[in-house]
Amino acid sequence: MRKHPASVTRGNRAARARAAGAVCAAAASLALLGACSGGSGAASSTPDGAERTERAARAADDPSPSRSRELSEDQRERKDLVSATEVGWEKAARTAEKKVSGSTLVEIELGDGDDGGGDGDDGDGGGGKVTPVWEAEVATEDGTSHDIRVDAVSGKVTRAEKDDGQDADDRKKTADRLAQAKVTPVKAAAAAAGHQKGTVTGVSLDDADGGPTVWAVDIVSRGTWAKTTFDVDAGNGRVLHEHVDRD
């Protein structure tokens, strides 16, 4: 092996050490530069973008009332009426039928008994005082109809009167519909409730645009206060159609 003078060996070692130090310093400078530039560039923007996306997703899923869209006039009315009602439609219907001997329910609907208020909105954005009542129509076998109003809080009859506006054709039409209704309104409402949870606010016997006689059942969903109307075949109890009123 060739030997180098001691001074030359030390010099080479010193040169190599200085070169290595220079390389390390350069590498450190590049790393520092990358970190600094990344702080104001893509490296920092990526977490911020992800965070913004996550916040947007949370906001979209936030069910808090502050983020819910404002209720429409009809939705406020439904909310006020349903929230104030203590007597359900079935009990009110039985009360109406008892008021007229030998009668059967033709129609019942939840409404505001305050004739002056109408829709239950006192102009302050909802939550106004309402007087919930069940407006019922019952008819005897010959089709003679009677209008019965039942207080939806106390369950008492507050008005009962014969429908003097009926003529012979009206009575016959009502009698025919009643004769065709093999399914009771209670069973029709149960069939509708199997498709939509909520509060029944109306049940009425009607003709489905020239089709079979149906029970039209209105169900209001708590939370959204949308109303879904189900046409239930009055002959066999099958749900034929449904319509959602989101207004």
pLDDT tens per residue across span 137-149:
999 999 999 999 9
pLDDT band at residue 29 using 50, 70 and 90 as cut-offs = very low
Q: Quick one: which of 127, 136, 147, 137 has its CA closest to 78?
A: 127
Q: Give residue for tokens 């923007």.
A: 45
Q: Indicate if the pLDDT at residue 3 is higher than 60.
A: no
Answer for the pair 192, 216: CB distance below 8 angstroms, yes or no: no
Specify the DSSP class assigned to residue 215: E
Q: Indicate if the pLDDT at residue 163 is higher than 90.
A: yes
pTM of the model: 0.68
Residue range 39-58: mean pLDDT, rounded:
43
pLDDT band at residue 23 using 50, 70 and 90 as cut-offs = very low
Residue range 107-118: mean pLDDT, rounded:
77
**Residue 213, number of CB atoms within 10 A of its CB:** 19
The phi and psi torsions of 118 (rounded to 5 degrees) equal: 75, -80
The residue type at 236: N
What tokens were used for 14? 């010193």
Confidence (pLDDT) at 126 = 47
Q: HEC states along 107-158? A: EEEEEECCCCCCCCCCCCCCCCCCCEEEEEEEECCCCCEEEEEEECCCCCEE
Confidence (pLDDT) at 246 = 81
Confidence (pLDDT) at 45 = 40
pLDDT band at residue 115 using 50, 70 and 90 as cut-offs = low
Q: Quick one: which of 99, 128, 97 has its CA closest to 114?
A: 128
Q: How far is the C-alpha of 227 from the C-alpha of 238, rounded, in Å?
A: 20
- Weakest-pLDDT range from 56-65, 108-117, 229-238: 56-65
Residue-wise pLDDT tens digits, 169-191: 999 999 999 999 999 999 999 99
The burial of 237, by beta-carbon neighbours within 10 Å (0-12 exposed, 13-18 middle, 19 or more buried), is given as middle
Q: Quick one: which of 191, 178, 176 has its CA closest to 237?
A: 191
